[in-house]
Amino acid sequence: MPSSTSSVITLKINGEKYTLPVDHRTTLLDALRERLDLTGPKKGCDQGQCGACTVLLDGRRAVACLQLAVAAEGREITTVEGLADGEQLHPVQQAFLDLDGFQCGYCTPGQICSAIGVIQEHAAGWPSAVTDDLRPEAGPPPLTADEIRERMSGNLCRCGAYVSIVEAVARAAAGTGTRTDTAPAARISPEAGTKEAVA
């Protein structure tokens, strides 16, 4: 029942509407995971430090552990569960899969949501802390490995899959026509134990 400390809210998540009563202190992350069984967003630190809980709010990335569920009412919430189109993975998901952009996978849903945000922010011309030329007329810088590392720096991976994550983000961005200027990665072929270039 609604009270001074709780409300019935309706959240729009991955195109579906969910109505639920929540304590006003409930984070969006807890509402997703504990109340709605949307366990894609992970709880790593629960204090905005690791990025494991990253979702998209109205298309922009946000850490769900620092959002109150009541404040997310009326917004478009996208979790990793909502990215694929049926059996067709989102291009960022496919790139992570193709390039082994994960090990244990715990950080991966947050990495993927964040990467989608990065590609969109970059396309919109948002600079990062490592962007050299900040003049508006300079346009978006190439999405180099340094740019990707900086823009993805809010997403930690305890397995250390960073090399492949950067490759996956670059490949997905290149698929949108973004200039990435990242060289083909040299990877170890498990069969031969030799290095080969990844197309």
**C-alpha span between 52 and 125 (Å, rounded):** 25
CB of 158 to ligand FES, least distance (A): 4
Where are the alpha helices (H) located in the chain, listed in sequence order?
A: 28-30, 91-98, 108-123, 145-151, 162-174
Cβ of residue 165: shortest distance to ligand FES, in angstroms? 8
CB of 67 vs ligand FES, minimal distance in Å? 9
Our CB check for ligand FES shows the closer of 48 and 140 to be 48
- From 175, 178, 153, 177, select the one nearest 165 (Cα to Cα): 153
Q: Amino acid identity of 10?
A: T
Q: 69 — phi, psi (to 5°)?
A: -60, -40
106 vs 123, beta carbon nearer ligand FES = 106
Q: Are 72 and 11 in contact (CB under 8 A)?
A: yes
Instruction: Report yes or no: 161 and 101 within 8 Å, Cβ to Cβ.
Output: yes
Nearer Cβ to ligand FES (141/172): 172
For residue 33, the minimal CB distance to ligand FES (Å) is 10
Specify whether the CB–CB gap between 21 and 1 falls below 8 A.
yes
Least Å from the CB of residue 97 to ligand FES: 13
By the criterion CB under 6 A, which residues form the site for ligand FES?
Answer: 43-46, 48-53, 63, 65, 102-108, 157-159, 161
Closer residue to ligand FES (CB): 63 or 170: 63
Nearer to ligand FES, 22 or 157 (CB): 157
* Chain CA centroid to CA 15, Å: 18
